[in-house]
């Protein structure tokens, strides 16, 4: 191969570990981070459960401190290892990382706010999407995303038709059944119609008059035929995307992220950033 651009500093090394997933160290970092994020999510979930032993809450409070400190270190490293920190700080994931870190500090500053901060802590979930690049299933998920993207216009048309149908049938059911059967206004009736057409069928609201039950039967049979449409669309797109696979393979990207401009879409084998020309770090 060509002569590689050399790595410049310890900051670039940290950058490579934190932002990329090509090196063993980068992969290990992502896996550890993924585990910590999932642990912190499980703690958020458990904290909402009432009636456990008190020592569990104490244990979780301690664990929350550990996680917060780890997130803080990571956040600082992310800032110092990049050339233009403001670009990261005000990016979507930069803000998510920030709000994932601060809840415990805030509850320390403003006593009594800890229960309200559960909302902010739940934002950590969104961090998972960034880490997903470590997944060895990345190729598969790309194909899935591509199939969904290609069928987006079709699915939008379909969803639009479904919503029009729901509006018409929802209004009709509101007029037929009325408030006594639970169809207390048109928005609720619309909600019921979506529940029915998607075959979920909670049963919290259901028709009781013969005419309402007749119309509901028509809606359900329609939903039965209609559920076939998105499946057919995705099936067709997916088969196509399977066929295009070979060509895609020639043009696959990796997790390389530019130290200079933060651009992270580069072809396999790229040695220089496609956006700013800065050399990319690559190890074999």
User: How many chain residues interact with its own copies (CB under 8 A)?
Assistant: 82
Examine residue 180 and tell whether it contacts its own copies (CB under 8 A).
no
- Of the candidate spans 11-19, 122-130, 250-258, 274-282, the one that interacts with its own copies by CB under 8 A turns out to be 122-130
The CA-atom distances, in angstroms, between 128 and each of 40, 88, 105 are: 11, 17, 22
Residue closer to its own copies by CB (options 17, 166) is 166
CB atoms inside a 10 Å sphere around CB 59: 13
- We find the least distance from the C-beta atom of residue 22 to its own copies, in angstroms, to be 20
Q: By CB under 8 A, name the one of 5, 24, 232, 269 that touches its own copies.
A: 232
Residue 77: CB minimum distance to its own copies, A: 25
The single residue among 122, 131, 261, 270 that binds its own copies, judged by CB under 8 A, is 122
Rounded Cα distance between 99 and 118, Å, is 11
- What residue has token string 């070979």? 246
| Binding test (CB under 8 A) with its own copies, winner from 129, 244, 267, 277 | 129
- The answer to whether residue 245 forms part of the interface with its own copies (CB under 8 A) is no
* 202 makes contact with its own copies (CB under 8 A): yes
Which of 251, 245, 231 has the alpha carbon at shortest distance from 146?
Answer: 245
Number of Cβ within 10 Å of residue 77's Cβ equals: 16
For residue 271, the minimal CB distance to its own copies (Å) is: 30
Decide if 132 contacts 62 (C-beta within 8 A). Answer: no
Residue 164, both tokens: 């029009």
Query: What residues numbered 147-176 form the site for its own copies, per CB under 8 A?
Result: 147-148, 153-162, 164, 167-168, 171, 174-175
Tokens of 243: 């066929």
Instruction: Compute the least distance from the CB of residue 158 to its own copies, in Å.
Output: 7
Dihedral pair phi/psi, residue 279, rounded to 5°: -65, 140
Looking at the DSSP bridge assignments, the partners of residue 253 are 267
Shortest distance, position 153 Cβ to its own copies, whole Å: 5
Indicate the residue among 36 and 234 with the shorter CB distance to its own copies: 234
Closest contact distance (angstroms) between CB of 115 and its own copies is 11
Q: With CB under 8 A as the contact rule, which of the stretches 14-22, 43-51, 248-256, 271-279 interacts with its own copies?
A: 43-51
Backbone angles phi, psi at 253, to 5 degrees: -105, 165
Distance CA 149, CA 146 (A): 5
Contact in structure between 237 and 147 (CB atoms under 8 Å): yes
- Report if residue 214 touches its own copies, rule: CB under 8 A: yes
């Amino acid at each position: 191969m060509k002569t590689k651009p050399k790595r410049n500093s310890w900051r670039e090394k940290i950058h490579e570990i934190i932002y990329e997933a090509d090196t063993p160290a980068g992969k290990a970092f992502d896996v550890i981070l993924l585990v910590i994020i999932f642990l912190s999510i499980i703690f958020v979930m458990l904290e909402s459960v009432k009636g456990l032993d008190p020592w569990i809450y104490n244990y979780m409070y301690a664990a929350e401190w550990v996680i917060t400190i780890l997130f803080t270190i990571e956040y600082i490293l992310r800032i110092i290892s990049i050339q233009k920190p403001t670009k990261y700080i005000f990016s979507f994931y930069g803000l998510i990382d920030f709000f994932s870190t601060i809840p415990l500090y805030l509850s320390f500053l403003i006593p009594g706010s800890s229960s309200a901060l559960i909302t902010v802590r739940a934002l950590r979930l969104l961090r998972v999407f960034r880490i997903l690049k470590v997944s060895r299933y990345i190729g598969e998920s790309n194909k899935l995303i591509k199939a969904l993207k290609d069928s987006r216009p079709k699915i939008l048309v379909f969803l639009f038709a479904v919503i029009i149908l729901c509006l018409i049938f929802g209004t009709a059911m509101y007029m037929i059944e009325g408030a006594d059967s639970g169809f207390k206004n048109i928005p609720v009736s619309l909600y019921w119609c979506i529940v029915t057409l998607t075959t979920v069928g909670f049963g919290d609201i259901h028709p009781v008059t013969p005419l309402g039950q007749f119309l509901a039967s028509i809606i359900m049979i329609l939903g039965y035929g209609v559920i076939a449409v998105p499946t057919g669309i995705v099936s067709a797109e997916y088969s196509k995307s399977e066929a295009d696979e070979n060509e895609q393979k020639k043009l696959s990207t990796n997790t390389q992220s530019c130290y200079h401009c933060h651009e992270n879409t580069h072809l396999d084998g790229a040695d220089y950033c496609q956006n700013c020309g800065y050399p990319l770090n690559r190890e074999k």
